[in-house]
């Protein structure tokens, strides 16, 4: 039983609509997957930057306390440090000698201990 041209045109339109719907759904699925990958990459980059910043701040803290004498950790970033306004005013770490009076009081009363948290 042969179908008319009008009927075949309707069948063709229905098939085309189904195909377009499948293509659109696949495209949306791909976009969703790309968005997930992008978010994951952003999270990893943020964590990596936080770790680098934490390490740098720890090294700066060590340098300020006098545990480090070189500034090699700044070369890893390949950036020039921004000059601080009060850079020349601050003195470097000095020899931390314990005076006799301090030694005696430490021996008599103890070295101190954990201080109470202030509000």
pLDDT at 21: 97
Q: Domains of the chain: which residue ranges?
A: 5-82
Burial class (CB in 10 A: 0-12, 13-18, 19+), 34: exposed
Look over the chain and give the mean of its residue pLDDT values, rounded to a whole number: 84
User: Which residue did the predictor score with more confidence, 22 or 96?
Assistant: 22
**Stretch 58-83: mean pLDDT, rounded?**
76
What is the pLDDT confidence band of residue 106, given thresholds at 50, 70 and 90? Answer: confident
Q: Is the dihedral of CA 43, 46, 52, 56 positive or negative?
A: negative
**Those residues with Cβ within 8 angstroms of residue 66's Cβ, 6 or more apart along the chain or in another chain:** 92, 93, 96
Band (119; pLDDT cuts 50, 70, 90)? low
């Amino acid at each position: 039983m042969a179908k008319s041209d009008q009927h075949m045109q309707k069948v063709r339109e229905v098939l085309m609509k189904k195909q377009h719907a499948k293509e659109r759904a696949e495209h949306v699925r791909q976009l969703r997957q790309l968005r997930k990958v992008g978010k994951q990459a952003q999270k990893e980059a943020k964590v990596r930057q936080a770790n680098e910043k934490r390490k740098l701040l720890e090294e700066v803290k060590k340098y300020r306390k006098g545990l480090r004498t070189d500034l090699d950790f700044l070369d890893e970033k390949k950036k020039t440090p921004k000059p601080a306004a009060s850079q020349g005013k601050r003195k470097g770490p000095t020899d931390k000698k314990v005076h006799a009076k301090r030694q005696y009081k430490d021996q008599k009363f103890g070295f101190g201990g954990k201080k109470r948290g202030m509000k």
